[in-house]
Chains A and B, each alone.
Chain A
């Protein structure tokens, strides 16, 4: 018992001294579990997140937009891959992680259970959803687990164009025909609150937060990040002439932040519980890709085995 205590002290001392924890270091079981849960959720979000945006690749309205969207959605696949790799360094295989997603056991960001109804949603997703994700990801570049932090550095570099391309789409629509303008405002109206929910429950109700902060897995609280996001986004909306759908939004001279309305957490919990508009479609699409891909993966392995055998015989 005393032994574990000592190991835990050594571990916490490393974390406190801002030293990265690496795969072969001793780490508390709960730290490992917490990381596996958080990183795999994050990976699943990247991969499931391909679906709502992929929905518009075929209908992108210009060749430039089509190429950008393809590259963007592909990047998200890469992000999922980097993160699954980080999970593997903790001893959990891609297959296991993937099975947990497909069986519905694992969670992913609820935001991707909302549908992309119009082209403006592609703008709103890039601007708001990637924008909110980036806040989190920039923080995670300094997370205490080495492989996770390194994956995040790579991801952040790639993310930098995601938010911009979305904001650009919104800006062009806002300046466009009356229909386009309406499309943009409608998308902002629908995506605003769900984006704020992406930062998670408020600090008071966040079950994992305190421990995650102590372990420096998280470095800033949900509420802090959410507030920075709101402050930045309100200004960006003003520049392109769109209105944030929150009647209580008001600049507070004292705090130097925006005051804002109330998040409808019943909706949030309902979507998490599986009752969002697209929960079933998203999981069904992932399961279909996986099961229909089985023969492809099997064929590649069978061929690799045959070739290895031939090489050995030669």
Chain B
């Protein structure tokens, strides 16, 4: 099954819903070029005031970690609770810390 080279490539879409928030992955779509991808993303993913800013990335440019490596990649962080502020006991009465 050979793909028609004239098929519009796949883009992943990230939308920032409000100033100051992260761009969040919302889905994907097809477009011939980046400009069209942004416009399609606007028409497809922001029809209900969801959008403030849009990023599009060619899906082929994304490398993903393997979920089954999850243990190796992410579990080692589990016992480093000293990275979290709640790890520390502050003396009673101390303010603004």
Chain A residues packing against B (C-beta within 8 Å): 22-26, 74-75, 78, 81-82, 85, 88, 93-96, 150-151, 154, 157-158, 297-298, 300-304, 307-308
Please give me the residue from chain A that is nearest to B4 by CB atom: A95
Contact A300 B47 (CB under 8 A): no
Contact B67 A24 (CB under 8 A): yes
Contact A297 B48 (CB under 8 A): no
From B29, B32, B44, A301 is in contact (CB under 8 Å) with B32
Minimum C-beta distance from A88 to chain B (A): 6
- Bound-state CA distance A74–B3 (Å) is 28
Please give me the residue from chain B that is nearest to A307 by CB atom: B33
Contact B6 A298 (CB under 8 A): yes
From B8, B29, B48, B67, A22 is in contact (CB under 8 Å) with B67
From B1, B3, B26, B32, A304 is in contact (CB under 8 Å) with B32
Contact B28 A297 (CB under 8 A): no
Chain B facing A: main interface SS: loop
B72 within 8 Å of A (CB atoms): no
- For this complex, 30 residue pairs linking A to B, each with C-beta atoms less than 8 Å apart, are A24-B64, A24-B65, A24-B67, A25-B68, A26-B68, A74-B47, A75-B47, A78-B47, A82-B27, A85-B28, A85-B29, A88-B28, A93-B3, A93-B7, A94-B7, A95-B7, A150-B27, A151-B27, A154-B26, A157-B48, A158-B48, A297-B6, A297-B7, A300-B8, A300-B32, A301-B6, A302-B6, A304-B32, A304-B36, A307-B33
Minimum C-beta distance from A294 to chain B (A): 8
- Number of B residues contacting the other chain (C-beta, 8 Å)? 24
Contact B27 A154 (CB under 8 A): yes
- Bound-state CA distance A26–B66 (Å) is 10
- In the assembled complex, which residues on chain A have CB atoms less than 8 Å from the CB atom of B68? 24-26
Contact A297 B29 (CB under 8 A): no
- In the assembled complex, which residues on chain B have CB atoms less than 8 Å from the CB atom of A304? 32-33, 36
Contact B67 A297 (CB under 8 A): no
Chain B residues packing against A (C-beta within 8 Å): 1, 3-8, 10, 26-30, 32-33, 36, 44, 47-48, 64-68
- Bound-state CA distance A57–B36 (Å) is 27
- In the assembled complex, which residues on chain A have CB atoms less than 8 Å from the CB atom of B26? 154
- Bound-state CA distance A307–B34 (Å) is 11
- In the assembled complex, which residues on chain B have CB atoms less than 8 Å from the CB atom of A85? 27-29
From A78, A95, A157, A307, B44 is in contact (CB under 8 Å) with A78
- Bound-state CA distance A157–B47 (Å) is 12
Please give me the residue from chain A that is nearest to B31 by CB atom: A300
Given contacts A85-B29, A298-B6, A303-B32, 6 further A-B contacts (CB under 8 A): A24-B66, A78-B44, A81-B44, A150-B27, A157-B48, A300-B8
- In the assembled complex, which residues on chain B have CB atoms less than 8 Å from the CB atom of A22? 67
Minimum C-beta distance from B82 to chain A (A): 28
Please give me the residue from chain A that is nearest to B25 by CB atom: A150
Minimum C-beta distance from B73 to chain A (A): 12
- In the assembled complex, which residues on chain B have CB atoms less than 8 Å from the CB atom of A95? 3-4, 7
- Bound-state CA distance A301–B65 (Å) is 31
- Bound-state CA distance A23–B10 (Å) is 16
Ranked 4 nearest A-B pairs via Cβ: A300-B32, A304-B33, A304-B32, A85-B28
- Bound-state CA distance A78–B29 (Å) is 10
* Most chain A CB atoms below 10 A, which of B8, B32, B68: B32
- Bound-state CA distance A74–B43 (Å) is 10
